[in-house]
Structure 1
């Protein structure tokens, strides 16, 4: 793809991602499944900050922790912060440096589309 991203149809996967190309489609599918099953609301406090309100279940929390930990190892520019302010209140904040706002845009689009398709 000529826009500097490593996968056609997955424009939020940047060249900076060190996940092997063959492993990227399954990871995208994991994100889509997570978004579909766990995301309840998507907001954008700033261009560099995405906030996902998640189902407050233990399963959603485990999935978020697992997926974000693995994503942090291949795309170190992401900062993930998972917090719980109550039994049903789970929030995943995702931040990126200015150079990766386009990646966050793509992630936000996928999260919104998947959650809407639930």
Structure 2
């Protein structure tokens, strides 16, 4: 979680919740942030396979979408809270 918090603090520009089971994190667009987000997503998926991570690079923007099944919404709620708190303090 500390590595996600560090990414959130350094790179998250905005946090949106387009659906109950999906979180959209707009990141500062850079190759380093893309690589960092991808590495964290792969490692997290190794221990918590219910997550679906999608890294989006388009039109000069970078975003990380996180989706979970309905039974894991509480985990997504907690991730959203951490992303919002870290980006607000960073």
Q: Secondary structure at the match of 2:50?
A: coil
Higher relative contact order (CA 8 A, sep 6+): 2
What corresponds to 1:59 in structure 2? 32
- More helix as a share of residues: 2
Q: Secondary structure at the match of 1:90?
A: strand
Q: Partners of 1:72 and 1:38 in 2: how far apart? A: 20
Q: Does 1:79 align with 2:52?
A: yes
| Runs of 4+, deviation exceeding 6 Å | none
- More strand as a share of residues: 2
Number of equivalent positions: 90
Q: Secondary structure at the match of 1:67?
A: helix
User: 1:86 deviation in Å?
Assistant: 2.2
Structure with max Cα Rg = 1
Question: Is there any run of 5+ residues in structure 1 with no aligned partner, and where?
Answer: 1-27
Q: Does 1:116 align with 2:59?
A: no
User: 1:98 deviation in Å?
Assistant: 0.3
Question: Is there any run of 5+ residues in structure 2 with no aligned partner, and where?
Answer: none
What corresponds to 1:100 in structure 2? 72
What per-residue deviation string (whole Å, max 9, x for no partner) do you get for residues 37-96 of structure 1?
A: 111000000110000000101110010010000000000000000011123x00111000
- TM-score under structure 2 normalisation? 0.98
